[in-house]
Amino acid sequence: MGFWSEAVLPRLVDWGMNSEGLGRHRARALVDVRGRVLEVGFGSGLNLPHYPEGVEAVVGVEPSVLAHRLAARRIEAAPFPVELIPLEGEKIPCADHAFDVAVSTFSLCTIPGVQDALQQIRRVLKPGGRFVFLEHGRAPDAAVARWQDRWNPTWSCMFGGCQTNREIDRLVAEAGFEVERLDRYYIKGPKFVGHFYRGTARSAG
């Protein structure tokens, strides 16, 4: 990783993704999460204040050392134990069937080997375990989608590989999940990065 990706971008994301409005979206996505949780793309721990009662522990997968440091105060304040694994989402060194729930928020857009990461998530979920996701991605409107395609190379270069045009529900389904609930909607702001996917899925196998 270069200076921008390792020393600047984690701080920028921590600041830019920590708004009250995004917090409400996080809380809605996480409202039914319980038990032992794997969070892929943990970042600086912005989800921690929004986990409900019933969460027993969170294991976060996050490669950025700076993001780990930025998360320290949130980890200390969490009412449950938090363990960080300093690896990419494609490399989850956990046992099969180890988690009740897996969570990804604003991470599937960035993971280079997203299908590998989703397969790892399936592997570590208990039978009947749920995958909860909140992501931005490809819009249903053709005009917006064209702008996403046009802006994607520049946006990806600026923001650590983040892709504006991934079809999140399709990626989840192709990884062997059955999407049980899916809400797609725009938030306020530029539509090319403001189309959200909020959903829950279970392994179809």
- Amino acid, res. 111: I
161's CB contacts (< 8 A; 6+ apart) are: 110, 112
Return all residues near 67 (Cβ < 8 A) that are at least 6 apart: 10, 13, 14, 42, 43, 44
Cβ neighbours of residue 185 closer than 8 Å, sequence gap 6 or more: 195, 196, 198
- pLDDT at site 27: 98
Q: Compute the distance between CA of residue 65 and CA of residue 192 in angstroms, rounded to an integer.
A: 29
Give the SS3 label for residue 194: coil
Average pLDDT, the chain: 96
Residue 199 three-state SS = strand
**Model confidence over 121-145: pLDDT tens digits?**
999 999 999 999 999 999 999 999 9
Nearest-angstrom CA–CA distance, 138 and 164 = 6
- On the question of pLDDT at 74 being above 90, the answer is yes
pLDDT for residue 184:
98
| Domain ranges within the chain, ordered by starting residue | 3-203
Residue 205 pLDDT: 65
pLDDT for the residue numbered 152: 97
Q: Domain 3-203 carries which CATH code?
A: 3.40.50.150
Could you tell me the pTM of the whole model?
0.96
Is 91 a residue whose pLDDT tops 90? no
